[in-house]
Chains A and B, each alone.
Chain A
Amino acid sequence: AQSVTQLGSHVSVSEGALVLLRCNYSSSVPPYLFWYVQYPNQGLQLLLKYTSAATLVKGINGFEAEFKKSETSFHLTKPSAHMSDAAEYFCAVIGSSNTGKLIFGQGTTLQVKP
């Protein structure tokens, strides 16, 4: 069964610092991988999606993630944090197209300090 683990339920960074949110998946088959963001009192919004076309995926708002099959990881990064990045971030995995479930990690709350 597919699963995804996000290391760290809370991450705090200073404005302008590097953002690193960790996600590891468990799968024997290259999965579909996503990062979603949930701003306070809002629904989720897709940040980026891994499609196997490239291991480094660029998303919206300056975020990117690198797929590393050998490490079964899909960590999310942003070079310089902005106050508006404060939100909850979810890594999600699906095993295969239209035949599985969309499994979310537990989420990581990102706090950005001025």
Chain B
Amino acid sequence: KAGVTQTPRYLIKTRGQQVTLSCSPISGHRSVSWYQQTPGQGLQFLFEYFSETQRNKGNFPGRFSGRQFSNSRSEMNVSTLELGDSALYLCASSLTGLDNEQFFGPGTRLTVL
């Protein structure tokens, strides 16, 4: 069974731009969650989607948004990029939700210049 895939793996943007990251979950998984990982703040939960609906949300500004499609694939969008948005963005999928084992993708490394 294929694992969680994330595209692109690396991304370089400039301040003020916007970016869209993509995540394809494991087949059959309906929950997709997103995390930001930085050396200073560690791993922080962004949001979780289940059956195309945002079910849980972390404490991030509205510039961070996401969506999930009917095939469970998910996208995360960050608008008006700031230098502090430079991070590794991880996506995870699970069968039913956050209380189940999360299967993580390799992440997208975003650098904002």
Contact = CB atoms under 8 A, between A and B. Distances in A.
Interface string B75-102: 0000000000000001010001111011
A104 B43 contact: yes
B7 interface: no
B98 A101 contact: yes
B102 A44 contact: yes
Contacts of A98: 50, 55-56, 96-99
Interface in A55-108: 90, 94, 97-107
Contacts of B42: 104-107
Given A32-B99, A94-B99, A97-B99, A102 B33 contact: yes
B56 A46 contact: no
Secondary structure call for the A interface: loop
B44 interface: yes
A45 interface: yes
Interface of B: 4, 33, 35, 42-45, 48, 50, 55-58, 90, 92, 96-99, 101-107
| Closest A-B pairs by Cβ, 3 of them | A43-B104, A104-B43, A98-B97
Interface of A: 32, 36, 41-46, 49, 90, 94, 97-107
